[in-house]
Chain A
Amino acid sequence: MQYLWAFLVGGALCAIGQVLIDLTKLTPARILVSYVVAGVILGAIGVYQPLVDFAGAGASVPLTGFGNLLAKGMRKAVEEDGFLGIFTGGFTACAAGVAAAVIFGLAVALIFRRTDRTRQE
């Protein structure tokens, strides 16, 4: 059952992105930025976490989940560290995902050679 909800909610979030691409001509970069900021806002007002509890990876894997993680981390940091938390919360929350992307990105760039020039524009 968890997989069905993950599929439906995750699929719906991606379908919304596709509608934005096709109808508004938003570039992929703008879509990603919008999703993360939307996730922060939805996380801040407390509506995204219930969706994560319900749909699992269907809500946490899309980039809105990344935004929700930022809001969650910020809440924890401000509770624990007060004013300093406003500055440390965001990066602490997204550290795992961003560090993984940087490290694996660097590794792939060093090891692989670009053979296929076709790129999604």
Chain B
Amino acid sequence: MNISKKEYAKLADSYSAPSKLYITIPKAFVSGGIICCIGQFFMDIYTMLGNDTDTASAYTSITLVLISALLTGFGQYERIAKHAGAGTLVPITGFANAVVSPALEFKTEGLVLGTGAKMFVIAGPVIVYGIAAAFVYGLILFVISLFGG
């Protein structure tokens, strides 16, 4: 095939993931909204079973993480994520996928340095900075409490 660089760039662009904002943003909005509604559905079930809000919320997270892990195992989460973009990244299912996907992907490098280590390639930074931010907040609260806050 004889095409110029410019034509090639145009062709390559058309095959790469859609980056048009008027397509990607509504897709992320709808898919993220649906995942949150699924979460709300589990919230309601766990609340109905007699749990308080915090407990129901924790069980909801665990349930969503389990569903995401299974979908990742079957290779389906990535298929959905290709269309949903941030809609499947931002919910806790995206965090779960970021743990499970490399755990499975790097199994070939062994269960310790492959699965065990690569599991935290994205989750690690999230935990590090989440804990650090919470630590700073805790420190401020403690100092305030010293002065009789």
Contacts and interface: CB of A to CB of B under 8 A. Distances in A.
Contacts of A28: 89, 94, 98, 122
Given A12-B29, A67-B133, A114-B104, A61 B85 contact: no
Contacts of A12: 29
Contacts, number: 280
Interface of B: 19, 21, 24-37, 39-40, 42-44, 57-58, 60-62, 64-66, 69-70, 72-75, 78-79, 81-82, 85-87, 89-96, 98-101, 103-105, 107, 111, 115, 119, 121-123, 125-127, 129-131, 133-135, 137-142, 145
A104 B129 contact: no
Please classify how large the interface on chain A is, using the bins under 10, 10 to 19, 20 to 34, 35 or more: 35 or more
Contacts of A100: 61-62, 65-66, 96
B16 to A, nearest CB: 11
Contacts of A16: 86
B60 A73 contact: no
Nearest to A39: B130
Contact of B122 (A22, A32, A74): A32
A48 to B, nearest CB: 12
Contacts of B96: 100-101, 104-105
Given A31-B86, A90-B130, A116 B75 contact: yes
B145 A31 contact: no
B92 A63 contact: yes
